[in-house]
Structure 1
């Protein structure tokens, strides 16, 4: 059954590609069948397991994946743990392996512990890939990356240090201690700070998990421990509003500057109040759409070109064959002026 299904998927995906080349759009109007994110109606199933379900960031990715499913004609499955827990995430991955999905995308909480499960999925005939967060030492076939680590780390640093006047001490509140993408961005921040801002230094890095309240508490502790601290960075979508809230609660807006990777809606109040000097992110729904599109490419063995026209909104997505990375594009900076233009 699995072999014949793969053949059918290849034929269906090729037909979809032909329609897209002709400028047509195939849409299944049935929409989502339940709150878990099922969408589309094709035989091809693309499953996505986020780090955490229920937060605006990954829900926006789910929306983008659903849109891709409706337009390209496949079934999109979405389920993640209710806490950022590697073991709970692994249980969901095992469930999708047992279901025999065609393509499995994961944003791993712990890339190393997940690697054996991705091997198990591959052995079962499932295409395996990562999105948002990579597991580079695994059998994943592609990593759908939101932006380059260099671009994100440097933009975070430059935005903060501009607000700080190019000098001073700052601290970082991250989320998962084992998250490969967050750690890569922090490393770039360390290097970029040392090279470009000799009068500035990072005094501490702490980890709040995917918990906004914990991020606020930790940011408050950092300000108390370092009275001369003038900057805070929230390196994930829960810690970004968390550090801005801490500065607000402490009455230190304009004295301690913050930036972070926050969704536009969650950061808008802080951008408007001045508690945040900028939110660095990307089009999260577009990242979900690109993930779904990449799933179709994997299932049909179509591969990726150096430059890919995914849709009218994503006309030139670059792919690096040496690293197997599909890159959404450069990061965006959200401010008080443009944050209200987005609904996530």
Structure 2
């Protein structure tokens, strides 16, 4: 019998190659692709301010380590309608988790409900939206902690007496309003010789805060203190004191990011900033969002990372708490790069 010819051997080789190729394709077609990473979108109050940029940096760093996708979509103004539009776009995109710092909680309540009805998780961070269907609030510090720290810092400079005014940002911002409420009660109870004469609102506009602070100093010639209640009004009120040449006469404290408030700490127009580690807040927010998306329950005390080994969770209010506020002065301001 004749052996296989060269042609038949070639045909056999080609058929075998095709069989292997088809087998490989069938394995690829039958294989299960890896799951897509959880998509978390952070919607801050407004774009292009250092505070939320730092918070976003913390969230991005956490995302790398947690294996999730973190992006920020920020409104160009503090008009609540701008946040509503962004949230509706994210609902249409079917993202996994929306994290929002509400400018107006009431305005966001319906669209938060829409997101939850579509199966999208919704958290608040930095600012809460109580009474809505948000699932968890990631809180930077307690209202009592911030309100008392701000008041004590100012009273230490004014001798526990005198008239002071508050320049806040959005009039509907739940976090700022809770701090102001504490300041009013705490001042009345602990500093009876001091008086809060007025609270005004500058939006998230530093220049508007400066202008309002100047008007307050004109309206109350015996004013001894100003509080910048948010990270744009804190440098704004200090700038007003500097430009009016009232350093040492009108003292300011505020909730300001370190590098934006640094020049005013150094020249004495701001006495102290009360804040928290903003990048850590972003880190904690990303971690919490992943826990919620994964369906993992939060414990009363949570080991989030080496830097956040014991983060508390309050189940009745569904609130994760970063911790105590930081006191930023001219001596330690350079420890923070944002």
Q: TM-score, normalised by structure 1?
A: 0.88
Post-superposition CA distance 1:66-103 (Å, at most 9, x none):
00110100100211111111111111111111111111
- Deviation per CA, 1:299-327, whole angstroms, max 9, x where unpaired? 11102000000000000000000110000
Other structure's SS at 1:143 match: strand
Matched, 1:47 2:28: no
Q: 1:294 pairs with 271, 278, 288, which one? A: 288
Q: Which runs of structure 2 are paired with 1:277-316 in the superposition (5 Å)?
A: 277-316=271-310
Partner residue in 2 for 1:244: 238
Corresponding residue number in structure 2 for 1:168 = 162
Displacement of 1:165 after TM fit?
0.8
Q: What is the rounded CA distance, in whole Å, between the counterparts of 2:56 and 2:71 in structure 1?
A: 9
Q: Which of 189, 201, 204 is residue 207 of structure 1 equivalent to?
A: 201
Partner of residue 212 from structure 2, selected from 197, 210, 218: 218
2:191 equivalent to 1:193: no
Q: How far is the alpha carbon of 1:172 from its aligned partner?
A: 0.2
Could you report, residue by residue, the CA deviation over 1:141-164 in whole angstroms, capped at 9, with x for unpaired residues?
Answer: 100000000100000000001111
Q: Shift of residue 212 of structure 1?
A: 0.2
Unaligned runs of 5+ in 1: 1-7, 13-41
- Following the alignment from structure 2 to structure 1, what is the Cα–Cα distance between the partners of residues 108 and 309? 32
Match of 1:254 in 2: 248
Shift of residue 240 of structure 1? 0.1
Q: Secondary structure at the match of 2:198?
A: strand
Classify the secondary structure of the residue corresponding to 2:70: strand
Q: TM-score, normalised by structure 2?
A: 0.89
Whichever of the two has the greater Rg, that structure is: 2
- Aligned CA RMSD, in angstroms, stands at 1.1
Shift of 1:207: 0.2
Runs of 4+ that moved beyond 4 A: none
Alignment of 1:141 onto 2:109: no
1:65 aligns with 2:59: yes
Instruction: Name the residue aligned to 2:123.
Output: 129
- How far apart in 1 are the matches of 2:274 and 2:183? 13
Q: Find the aligned partners of 1:147 and 1:153 in 2 and give their Cα distance.
A: 10
Who is 2:11 aligned against?
A: none
Identify which of 107, 114, 126 aligns with 1:120.
114
**Separation in structure 1 between the aligned mates of residue 120 and residue 162 of structure 2, nearest angstrom:** 50
> Is structure 2 residue 74 aligned with structure 1 residue 97?
no
Question: Unpaired segments of 5 or more residues in structure 2?
Answer: 1-31
Determine whether 1:268 maps to 2:274. no
Separation in 1 of the partners of 2:222 and 2:271?
19
Cα deviation for residue 341 of structure 1 reads: 1.2
Other-structure match for 1:341: 335
Whole-angstrom CA distance in 2 between matches of 1:82 and 1:118: 20
